[in-house]
Amino acid sequence: MHTIRLTMAQALVKYLAAQRIEMAGREVPLFEGVFAIFGHGNVAGMGEALYHVQDELPTFRAHNEQTMAHAAIAFARANGRRRLMAATSSIGPGATNMVTAAALAHANRLPVLLLPGDTFVTREPDPVLQQVEHFGDPTISVNDCFRPVSRYFDRIHRPEQLLTSLPQAMAALLDPENCGPATLALPQDVQTFAYDYPAAFFTPRVHHVRRPPPDAHELHQAIAALKQASRPLIIAGGGVHYADACEALAAFAMARGIPVAETQAGKGALADSHPCATGAIGVTGSAAANQLSEQADVILAIGTRLQDFTTGSRALFESSDKTLVALNVGRFDSLKHQALPLCCDALIGLEQIDAALGEWRSSDGWREQTGTLKREWSDAVHRITADQGLELPTDAQVIGAVNRQALDDTTVVCAAGGLPGELHKLWQCSGPGSYHVEYGFSCMGYEIAGGLGVKMARPEREVVVMVGDGSYLMHNSELATSVMLGHKLVVVVLDNRGYGCINRLQHATGGAGFNNLLKDCRAIDAGAPETDFAAHAKALGCESETVSGIAQLEQALVRARAARTTYVIALETDPLPSTQEGGAWWEVAVPQVSEREAVNAAYKGYREAKQRQRH
Ligand SMILES: Cc1ncc(C[n+]2csc(CCOP(=O)(O)OP(=O)(O)O)c2C)c(N)n1
Ligand SMILES: [Mg+2]
């Protein structure tokens, strides 16, 4: 047998560089590259190995392990889960910094290969710098924190374990049903151990993402349910995008006269101009989609996890006279909410349903109602997002400005705060790829790093990151990475001086303003610092400016587009208003007893609202 003598780390990167995938008829590398922050846990082993493969597998230096992994995850999502990145860290804090990113990828069913360094398997120098010693179990290291947030986890104790572990890791990353983070913990000594690897292990391999077909019985049941429907509705989730089924969905909805509502991950499946596009569904949904969901007789949920924001905490479309069909590539999701399961690939499922439906269409009245509600909602959006000339504009008005300035190839990126809800309700999508909001984990600090990952995946697109002051202050350092790599972002910072959405939630649950807006926080007499976001971004190498009001913002966006490097625009906004139109109830637990009358009143309202919830 022909063998090649390599260290474990050299073999690992050589294998990654040999993985390929077909995208749009073209064979391309599966891995774009590796984000890396080195320390003693990976610099000698992984660092040396990566140095030699820079042409096939580039290394990108970032500024924070969590956010570099966020960028890697965003890259995979913007590539429809078909192209990937890896992230390698040192041991200890570098490794645990990536745990949050692993959880984010897990919740969103997005692939990322995490390669944290680990302590010596020989244990000879123990305890090494940054080792957490577990008194009762020396086999545990901090990397065991990755287990509950990884779809695949292994610790490579011997170099030859790569031969069996790497193919499994690749399968987990590319499996549409169990897609998520794969973590290979790499003890620093084992990274450097040599082994005679079979040369065949490094033969280029072209991967293919499986498209599981439906079970005949489940398909039959789903078709029978749809054929009886006169008021059908489709909920489109992220799975529609990942199955590349957006076009098929648009054609199916049009031909059959079915309104389509979208989840956060599904948004953009249809362009807003599509006659069947009724906007967002759920807690942050459009009045059109939510009203239609209440009145629908059959709901076909495609590629969605049916999380609380989609179902209004199970109070939105849960009446017993409704049939829910859950078309999902994962059995786990297809069984939720007592749905009729249709467990298969979204594209194949749609094609087979369509082929069996004959002349069936929704009722004339339903299609008319869809058109009316769509028009009414569209008018509302224009009204809500119009410039009112306010000194402190609302989030909605800022969204209007950014949306008016956006091009067809603009992608808006966001994750946490008040913005995701407002964007879900109000952002008008030009089609697939135009909307990238991380709302499975809604992780503050994903925004800028996520924007970087999107830009790396789709350099031809304009990437606009919308971010609150809180999220910006939590993680902003990948701005410097975007400047360094020449991946230009446009970043709009909405400074409402605090955690605006949580302040609103606090009041809605009867609480007093406390520890959210900066003015309500413990501080010395001089008060909280007034952060100069434009100056901060400039210090990181970006171009930047501060503007006041919507008109100035729109002019600044034009300058930002013309700029060569990442451009940050900061403006002050009003923390109090949020869009009241549309929306649905969301369950947030309210204290059962309190000395505050407002809390007791909120609890009463909470109990009443829970009556509508079905289990
Ligand atoms: C990492 C993380 N910590 C805490 C939260 C809870 N949380 C959600 S939004 C938010 C405030 C965000 O503030 P900002 O970015 O300024 O947006 P705003 O609410 O003001 O629109 C907080 C604390 C979270 N989602 N993620
Ligand atoms: Mg804020």
Ligand 1 centroid distance, CA of 499 (Å):
6
Q: Is 430 in the pocket of ligand 1 (CB under 6 A)?
A: no
Listing DSSP states for 486-525 in one string gives T---EEEEEE-SB-HHHHHHHHHTT--S-SSBGGGS---T
Q: Which helix (H) or strand (E) holds 604?
A: helix 597-610
Ligand 1 centroid distance, CA of 280 (Å):
21
pLDDT in the model for residue 182: 98
d(C-alpha 87, C-alpha 601), whole Å: 48
pLDDT at 320 exceeding the cut of 80: no
78-105: string of b/e by CB count within 10 Å (b at 16+)?
bbbbbbbbbbbbbbbebbbbbbbbbbbb
Atom of ligand 1 nearest to the CA of 468: 15
Three-state DSSP state, 146: helix
Q: Is 550 in the pocket of ligand 1 (CB under 6 A)?
A: no
State mean pLDDT over 31-38: 98
Determine which residue's CA is closest to atom 9 belonging to ligand 1: 417
Cis peptide preceding 181, ω within 30 of 0: no
Helix pair 419-426, 364-385: axis angle to 10 deg: 130
Ligand 1 centroid distance, CA of 584 (Å):
20
pLDDT in the model for residue 615: 76
- What does the DSSP 8-state code read for residue 212? P
Ligand 1 centroid distance, CA of 448 (Å):
14
Q: Is 444 in the pocket of ligand 1 (CB under 6 A)?
A: yes
| Residue 273 token pair | 């101009």
Ligand 2 centroid distance, CA of 451 (Å):
19
pLDDT in the model for residue 321: 86
pLDDT at 98 exceeding the cut of 80: yes
Ligand 1 centroid distance, CA of 588 (Å):
16
User: Distances in Å between the alpha carbon of 449 and those of 472, 481, 574?
Assistant: 10, 9, 25
Q: Residue 319: which pLDDT band, with cuts at 50, 70 and 90?
A: confident
Q: Residue 317: which pLDDT band, with cuts at 50, 70 and 90?
A: confident
Determine which residue's CA is closest to atom 20 belonging to ligand 1: 500
Q: Is 468 in the pocket of ligand 1 (CB under 6 A)?
A: yes
Q: Is 500 in the pocket of ligand 1 (CB under 6 A)?
A: yes
pLDDT at 575 exceeding the cut of 80: yes
Rounded to the nearest angstrom, the gap between the alpha carbon of residue 211 and the centroid of all alpha carbons in its chain is: 22
Q: Specify which residues 491 forms β-bridges with.
A: 465, 568
Which residue in this structure is represented by tokens 């999380």? 307
State mean pLDDT over 297-323: 94
Hey, how many other C-beta atoms are within 10 angstroms of the C-beta on 47? 17
pLDDT tens for 425-477 read 999 999 999 999 999 999 999 999 999 999 999 999 999 999 999 999 999 99
Q: Is 419 in the pocket of ligand 1 (CB under 6 A)?
A: yes
Q: Is 311 in the pocket of ligand 1 (CB under 6 A)?
A: no
pLDDT in the model for residue 58: 98
Ligand 2 centroid distance, CA of 518 (Å):
9
d(C-alpha 325, C-alpha 301), whole Å: 6
Cβ contact 76:112 at 8 Å: yes
Helix pair 419-426, 395-405: axis angle to 10 deg: 50
Q: Specify which residues 323 forms β-bridges with.
A: 298
pLDDT tens for 333-382 read 999 999 999 999 999 999 999 999 999 999 999 999 999 999 999 999 99
Q: Is 236 in the pocket of ligand 1 (CB under 6 A)?
A: no
Determine which residue's CA is closest to atom 8 belonging to ligand 1: 417
Q: Is 471 in the pocket of ligand 1 (CB under 6 A)?
A: yes
Residue 223: HSE in the Cβ half-sphere, 13 Å Cα cutoff? 19
| Residue 184 token pair | 């290979």
State mean pLDDT over 230-254: 98
Q: Is 417 in the pocket of ligand 1 (CB under 6 A)?
A: yes
Q: Is 4 in the pocket of ligand 1 (CB under 6 A)?
A: no
Pocket test for ligand 1, best of 66, 447, 492, 499 (most atoms within 8 A of CB): 499
State mean pLDDT over 476-480: 98
pLDDT in the model for residue 340: 97
d(C-alpha 491, C-alpha 483), whole Å: 12
151-162: string of b/e by CB count within 10 Å (b at 16+)?
bbbbbbeebbbb
pLDDT in the model for residue 277: 98
Sign, CA torsion 23/265/168/61? positive
Ligand 2 centroid distance, CA of 574 (Å):
9
d(C-alpha 347, C-alpha 349), whole Å: 5
Ligand 2 centroid distance, CA of 447 (Å):
13
State mean pLDDT over 118-130: 97
Q: Residue 538: which pLDDT band, with cuts at 50, 70 and 90?
A: very high
Determine which residue's CA is closest to atom 16 belonging to ligand 1: 470
pLDDT tens for 47-88 read 999 999 999 999 999 999 999 999 999 999 999 999 999 999
Pocket test for ligand 1, best of 444, 446, 476, 491 (most atoms within 8 A of CB): 444
Listing DSSP states for 116-145 in one string gives EEE--SS-TTPSPTTPPP-TT-TT--GGGG
**Beta carbons within 8 Å of 494's beta carbon, 6+ residues apart:** 395, 398, 419, 466, 467, 468, 469, 571, 573
Cβ contact 340:326 at 8 Å: yes
Determine which residue's CA is closest to atom 1 belonging to ligand 1: 444
d(C-alpha 221, C-alpha 48), whole Å: 56
> Hey, what amino acid is at 236?
A
d(C-alpha 573, C-alpha 77), whole Å: 30
Atom of ligand 1 nearest to the CA of 395: 21
Q: What are phi and psi of 149, to 5 degrees?
A: -115, 20
- What does the DSSP 8-state code read for residue 380? H
Cβ contact 462:453 at 8 Å: no
Atom of ligand 1 nearest to the CA of 501: 19
pLDDT tens for 74-83 read 999 999 999 9
pLDDT tens for 132-165 read 999 999 999 999 999 999 999 999 999 999 999 9
Ligand 1 centroid distance, CA of 444 (Å):
6
In the chain, the percentage of residues whose pLDDT exceeds 90 is 97
Measured between alpha carbons, how far apart are the two ends of the chain, in Å?
60
Cβ contact 436:450 at 8 Å: yes
Q: What is the mean pLDDT of the chain?
A: 97
- Closest to 381 in 3D by CA, of 424, 417, 415, 416: 424
pLDDT in the model for residue 528: 78
Ligand 1 centroid distance, CA of 445 (Å):
9
d(C-alpha 319, C-alpha 162), whole Å: 51
Hey, how many other C-beta atoms are within 10 angstroms of the C-beta on 268? 25
Ligand 1 centroid distance, CA of 23 (Å):
36
Q: What is the 3-state secondary structure (H, E, C) of 232-263?
A: EEEEECHHHHHCCCHHHHHHHHHHHCCCEEEC
pLDDT in the model for residue 432: 98
Cβ contact 370:276 at 8 Å: yes
What pairing do the DSSP bridges indicate for beta strands 19-23 and 3-7? unpaired
Atom of ligand 1 nearest to the CA of 473: 15
Q: Specify which residues 260 forms β-bridges with.
A: 234, 277
